[in-house]
Amino acid sequence: MRYGHFDDKQREFVITRPDTPLPWLNMLGQDEFYGLCTQTAGGYSFWKDARLRRITRYRYNNNPMDNDGRFLYVRHGKSVWNPGWKPSRTKLDGFECRHGLGYTNIVGRKDGIEVQQRVFIPPNENVEIWKVTVRNRTKQRQKLSLFSYVEFCFYEALNDMTNYQRTYSIGEVEIEGNAIYHKTEYRERRNHYTLFGCTRKIDGFDTSRDAFVGVHHGLHDPKAVLAGKCTNSHAYGWNPVGAHQVNLNLAPGAEETFAYVLAYVDQGDLPKFDAPFVINKTKGREVLKRYSDIAEIDRAFAAVKGRWDELLSNFTTPDAPNEHLRRMVNVWNQVQCMATFNLSRSTSGYETGIGRGMGYRDSNQDILGFVHLLPERARQRILDIASTQLSDGTCFHQYQPLTKKGNADIGGGFNDDPLWLILSTCAYIRETGDASILNEVCGYADKPGSKDTLLHHIETSIAYTLNNRGPHGLPLIGHADWNDCLNLNCFSKEPNESFQVTGDIAGSKAESVMIAGLFLYATRDLAALYGHLGRAEDKQRVEGYYGDMLKTVETQAWDGAWYTRAFDAQSRPVGSKACKEGKVFIESQAWCVLGGAGQDNGRAKKALQAVEKHLYHPKYGCALQWPPYSEYHLELGEVSSYPPGYKENAGVFSHNNTWIHIGWAMFGDGERALDYYLSICPSAKPDHDIYRSEPYVYAQMTASQFSPTPGEAKNSWLTGTAAWSFVVGSQYILGIQPDFNGLRIDPCVPKDWKGFTVQRKYRGVTYTIIVKNPKKKSKGIKTLVVDGKKVDGNVVPLPSDGRSSVTVEATLGA
């Protein structure tokens, strides 16, 4: 690998040259304060909501890419350089960036001076800390200046980047000692400010961008750094920035350590001002004082690491035989699940924080890979999401994390949305055993104050699908189903319209087989839940819905060699041999199989084989459909608008691949389950000049074999692939499946795996699960021994005697 490597022991990805094929990002923070940080210290920070509380500015789609961030400039002799290489791009003698769990550590070296910048966000604090060490590695005394730099954002990020007639005249700051206070709009509607402080004595500062950078200069050659001197500017309007100058005089071999602190301070009930225009800085001073103590900084850093140690100890396999699966399941996949849970699809290198907030379907799915980490947070999220459902069953497709209110621009009418709530709720109850969530009151978005429970929402969701079916008896699709771009009601020839929400869905007949499959899955889940709760009648009722829908799928949606994808507004099939393009789609194969269709008649296997034959490529994964659309199909919407091989037009959309992985595991094909898993696994990508995206997290999309750029990934980090791949790796390949009454052990592995161990914390008990495979099988538990006693079946019963650890020996071979 030309750009770096995994350090599995430290749980870090080590980047050894700064010019990676794309910016390689890390996500910092998991409570209320977040930071995006690339290997060159690019990125930005925000509090809770990247649209409404953006703290530092970032210019997306810039060239050079990723050119704003948390920068340190070194002025040493005549040279100006950054330890992270950018923005100056002065050649370094040494560079290393370690992306770890909750922190990024960058070290740059030039002419015997080494600067280390460790960026992290302590648990439950609204602070980002850069611990900085400057070392003189030469045999002479060295004088140099270090300049820090951030550019403040005016909090509301969309306004910040569009409304310059106003924003050029609103900027306000204060300076006190080593601290710069960004207080734009604080006098009026805001009770919060940003603090950018240095814990060491400073030798100058700037707060005006024009003074520090210069109007005709760029971040690569800021005027003040070139001059070797800050100007002590006070921003009044224009663009406030934070820059400190620190002059160092280091003896041979000496080093100095101090920190920069970027804090979001909520003033709470304190008086806002000490005097007109003078902020009451009590809280800001406390923050700065606290972190002036390096020991406190190190304690805060240890807390970040300790928290991840604790989280990851909930699921770990020390010895699963495949190193890529091991490292993803143990570390990076779980890290990504944390990010998708927290940020949904709002904020990444590709999601600007101002476009999409939290997604109804997305966040429900994200819970599947997160619930074992922090079940209480998953619980709250499920209730928050449910509250954005309307009483007729439809849902706001997106909502803002700060307000938790549905986004009216997008509205609802994505007819798969309601059903995902059942999957997240059942996953939560299987993990925790806490069925009380079903009785929690979480009203409907259109009936504020309503006293309906989560279970009411679940039944409303089922009823919505049942009551909104088309001519074939299949669920109506609305604006789209999981595939946002399958817009069978749009018919837009007008470039200024949205594909997804323009079409009128009232009275439309377009149907989705994918939703039918999802309905099968959801009703089977719900029936099992009712069974567990001892509600036999409800169980039977829901099984009735299942049976009817199954019959509909089998009679209406089998195309001969695979499941049809949909029926358009004219009731013509989509994803059928009768179509000229887009004959086979992945989602209907996946969901019909996952929902239990095609079991007795051989169709499930055929559906998976059709995926293999028409969509699968061992190096890139499965394309979404085949053949790609070469023409724009008015009746299909956005799906045919992308160039062939990209995104929903036959790109490898990683998220849906994971469902096929589960399909193969259900069939006991351990070789295919693992091969397919590896085909989209970032850690397993051999050539990063082709793949380009981060090797440690999944990307939403890889260009497929049907494009001219096969194997190139984009949209990393925020994708449903994270949660579902964790489900595949932990529950279907390694086979540790939380169930209502205990852990079910049902691995599906390549025949040549000799065995493996999993440590799993589950409902307060630590399970050590040893899986043995002496007979070279893929699936099927022959014997299950729990703390020395043989148990029938493959579910480990919950200990009734308060034991806190349990040892399980499971032998494959049935």
For residues 50 and 160, is the Cβ–Cβ distance under 8 A?
A: no
DSSP 664-694: HHHTT-HHHHHHHHHHT-GGG-S-HHHH-S-
What's the rounded Cα separation, in Å, for the pair 88 and 76? Answer: 14
Residue from the set 333, 334, 352, 483 that interacts with ligand GLC by CB under 6 A = 483
For residues 39 and 350, is the Cβ–Cβ distance under 8 A?
A: no
φ and ψ at residue 467, rounded to 5 degrees: -85, -5
What is the closest distance, in whole angstroms, from the C-beta atom of residue 466 to ligand GLC in the complex? Answer: 22
Site string for ligand GLC, 674-703 (x = CB under 6 A): --------------------------x---
Distance from CA of residue 458 to its chain's centroid? 25
Nearer to ligand GLC, 61 or 804 (CB): 61
What is the closest distance, in whole angstroms, from the C-beta atom of residue 628 to ligand GLC in the complex? Answer: 14
For residues 120 and 103, is the Cβ–Cβ distance under 8 A?
A: yes
Residue from the set 424, 500, 508, 716 that interacts with ligand GLC by CB under 6 A = 500
Q: How far, in Å, are 243, 290, 770 from residue 736 at the CA level? A: 51, 44, 11
Closest CA to 438 of 349, 347, 533, 369: 533
Closest CA to 224 of 248, 241, 200: 241
CB atoms within 10 A of CB 137: 17
Q: Which residues of 745-784 are buried (b: 16+ CB within 10 A; e: fewer)?
A: bbbbbbeebebbbbbbbbeebebebebbbeeebbbebeeb
Burial (0-12, 13-18, 19+ Cβ within 10 Å), 166: exposed
Strand partners, 129: 120, 261
Nearer to ligand GLC, 219 or 699 (CB): 699
What's the rounded Cα separation, in Å, for the pair 21 and 685? Answer: 14
For residues 18 and 97, is the Cβ–Cβ distance under 8 A?
A: yes
Residue from the set 66, 128, 351, 484 that interacts with ligand GLC by CB under 6 A = 484
What's the rounded Cα separation, in Å, for the pair 780 and 813? Answer: 6
Nearer to ligand GLC, 109 or 647 (CB): 647
Strands 805-812 and 765-772: parallel
Residue of this chain nearest to ligand GLC (CB atom): 484
Tell me the number of residues near ligand GLC by CB under 6 A.
Answer: 13
- For the chain, helix (H) and strand (E) counts, in that order, are 21, 42
What is the closest distance, in whole angstroms, from the C-beta atom of residue 482 to ligand GLC in the complex? Answer: 4
Nearer to ligand GLC, 34 or 646 (CB): 646
What is the closest distance, in whole angstroms, from the C-beta atom of residue 692 to ligand GLC in the complex? Answer: 19
Q: How far, in Å, are 37, 52, 58, 212, 594 from residue 67 at the CA level? A: 12, 22, 8, 16, 44
- Find the helix packing angle between 454-467 and 536-556, rounded to 10°: 30
Question: Does position 345 bind ligand GLC by CB under 6 A?
Answer: yes
Nearer to ligand GLC, 117 or 483 (CB): 483
DSSP tag of 437: G
What's the rounded Cα separation, in Å, for the pair 240 and 208? Answer: 5
Nearer to ligand GLC, 119 or 343 (CB): 343
Residue from the set 119, 422, 485, 586 that interacts with ligand GLC by CB under 6 A = 485
Q: Which stretch binds ligand GLC (CB under 6 A): 294-302, 355-363, 526-534, 589-597?
A: 355-363
CB atoms within 10 A of CB 301: 18
Q: Which stretch binds ligand GLC (CB under 6 A): 35-43, 478-486, 744-752, 783-791?
A: 478-486
What's the rounded Cα separation, in Å, for the pair 428 and 369? Answer: 11
Q: Which stretch binds ligand GLC (CB under 6 A): 145-153, 234-242, 480-488, 599-607?
A: 480-488
What is the closest distance, in whole angstroms, from the C-beta atom of residue 587 to ligand GLC in the complex? Answer: 9
Residues 696-755 that bind ligand GLC (CB under 6 A): 700, 719
What is the closest distance, in whole angstroms, from the C-beta atom of residue 490 to ligand GLC in the complex? Answer: 12
Q: Which stretch binds ligand GLC (CB under 6 A): 275-283, 481-489, 544-552, 572-580?
A: 481-489
What is the closest distance, in whole angstroms, from the C-beta atom of residue 631 to ligand GLC in the complex? Answer: 18
Distance from CA of residue 785 to its chain's centroid? 37
Q: Which stretch binds ligand GLC (CB under 6 A): 427-435, 477-485, 590-598, 766-774?
A: 477-485
What is the closest distance, in whole angstroms, from the C-beta atom of residue 700 to ligand GLC in the complex? Answer: 5
Q: Which stretch binds ligand GLC (CB under 6 A): 282-290, 476-484, 559-567, 737-745?
A: 476-484
Site string for ligand GLC, 148-187 (x = CB under 6 A): ----------------------------------------
Nearer to ligand GLC, 361 or 688 (CB): 361
Residue from the set 125, 648, 694, 809 that interacts with ligand GLC by CB under 6 A = 648
What is the closest distance, in whole angstroms, from the C-beta atom of residue 328 to ligand GLC in the complex? Answer: 19
What's the rounded Cα separation, in Å, for the pair 73 and 58? Answer: 18
What is the closest distance, in whole angstroms, from the C-beta atom of residue 709 to ligand GLC in the complex? Answer: 17
Residues 356-395 that bind ligand GLC (CB under 6 A): 359, 361-362
What is the closest distance, in whole angstroms, from the C-beta atom of residue 359 to ligand GLC in the complex? Answer: 5
Nearer to ligand GLC, 333 or 500 (CB): 500
In the chain, the amino acid numbered 699 is A
Residues designated catalytic? 484
What is the closest distance, in whole angstroms, from the C-beta atom of residue 351 to ligand GLC in the complex? Answer: 9
Q: How far apart are the first and last CA of the chain?
A: 41
Nearer to ligand GLC, 53 or 361 (CB): 361
DSSP tag of 91: P
Nearer to ligand GLC, 620 or 653 (CB): 653
Nearer to ligand GLC, 648 or 746 (CB): 648
What's the rounded Cα separation, in Å, for the pair 622 and 702? Answer: 10
Nearer to ligand GLC, 707 or 719 (CB): 719
312: left (phi over 0), alpha (psi -120 to 50) or beta: alpha
What is the closest distance, in whole angstroms, from the C-beta atom of residue 531 to ligand GLC in the complex? Answer: 30
**Do you find a cis peptide bond into 627, omega within 30 degrees of 0?**
yes
Nearer to ligand GLC, 96 or 484 (CB): 484
Q: Which stretch binds ligand GLC (CB under 6 A): 328-336, 479-487, 735-743, 806-814?
A: 479-487
- Find the helix packing angle between 333-343 and 375-386, rounded to 10°: 40
Greatest CA separation for the chain: 84
Residues that bind ligand GLC (CB under 6 A): 345, 359, 361-362, 482-485, 500, 647-648, 700, 719
